Amino acid sequence: MLGENVGTIKDVLYVRFSVTDLQMQQQFLVDFGFKAEINDGLLIARGTDANPYIYIAEQSSEPAFVSVGFAAKSEAVLRNIAANDGVPIETNDLPGGGLMARLTDPNGFSVEVVANLADSPFLTAASRSGLNDGLEKHRLGERVTFAEPDSLIKRLGHVVLMVTDFNETLEWYQKRFGLLISDEIIMDKGGKQETLGAFTRCNRGEEYVDHHTLFLINADRAGFNHAAFEVTNWDALMSSHYKLMKAGHHHSFGVGKHILGSQTFDYWKDSDGFMLEHFTDGDLLNESFGSHKRGLEDLLGTHWGPDGMPGQ
């Protein structure tokens, strides 16, 4: 492992795309819950957390997934990663500045690692007064009230990629970023165990992190599957669901609750066919949780929700 004895990245930071209509994409992102602006031909979107951007797009005649960005633990770690791959350290010219190294994974995906990124001020997140459920009552003598948020989106939670050589790709990311497997998806094929993919998480030692930061799917072609953005709660997720529905956007899958990761989910597609997910109430794990093997039924199953899988 490069850098330090615990994972070398803090979290996934952003996804970058080429889209065919920048203004149309901006409207989709605003409807989806981002705070999004176009400046000098670059569409930059953020949530309410401190990251100055979590989604970037430029206009092109052909839509494409361009890259995924990760936040390095430190400048020293970034320099170790860059030296290992023989790539230069660049000045990051996006909001927040800092330094960047551009890597290429075994599938040809561009992977950007950023350090010394300056935080932006937190924005007002979606919140509500106390919840009264069947067992506990937290709102007494008052009506439900909702805060007016600056954005329904908080942060980027995870990215899912389809890869053609799973073992090589997993080793590549683990060597550079110290990712841990949360759940490896396996099935029996002719009496032999075959890996269908793995949910991997950041390693921040005793600190709790999302169940997965990067999910690698063992596939016959390489490609972007989806990116998932966290919202604060169920009300925010459903509020955005109906806003997107009324605006006529393409609903893909949901609402439901995953077995692996436990997220309440809702999947949508933009006008270029890229899939973005809202989620809330995901599992948080630390290093001591270890790694586990699970079957296809757990991957495709839900605690509740529709049959099928994202991508429809």
Residue 112 lies in a domain: yes
User: Mind listing the pLDDT tens digit for each residue in 265-297?
Assistant: 999 999 999 999 999 999 999 999 999 999 999
Residue carrying structure tokens 């551009």: 102
Which strand (E) or helix (H) includes residue 202?
Answer: none
Pairing of strands 275-280, 223-231: parallel
84 token code pair: 């290992």
Q: Is the pLDDT confidence value at 3 over 50?
A: no
Condensed to tens digits (0 to 9), the pLDDT of residues 152-193 reads 999 999 999 999 999 999 999 999 999 999 999 998 888 788
Residue (of 299, 290, 284) closest to 11 by Cα position:
284
Asked whether residue 124 is assigned to any structural domain, the reply reads no
The answer as to whether 309 is a domain residue is: no
Q: Is 218 among the domain residues?
A: yes
Statement: residue 4 has pLDDT above 70: no
Determine the pLDDT at residue 203: 96
Residue 134 lies in a domain: no
Check whether 257 has a pLDDT greater than 50.
yes
C-alpha dihedral sign at 32, 35, 40, 43:
negative
Task: Read off the tokens for 118.
Answer: 């300056």
Q: What is the DSSP string of 91-142?
A: E--STT--EEEEEE-TTS-EEEEEESPPPPPP-PBP-BSPPB-SS-B---SS
Q: Which domain holds residue 78?
A: 9-118+153-304
> Domain containing 288 — which CATH number?
3.10.180.10
Domains in the chain, number: 1
- The per-residue pLDDT for 69 is 98
Q: What is the CA radius of gyration of the chain?
A: 19
Residue 18: inside a domain: yes
Separation between Cα atoms, residue 36 and residue 38, nearest integer Å: 7
In a domain, residue 143? The reply is: no
Question: pLDDT band at 1, cuts 50/70/90?
Answer: very low
pLDDT for position 165: 92
Residue 136 lies in a domain: no
| pLDDT at residue 144 tops 60 | yes
Residues recorded for the chain? 312
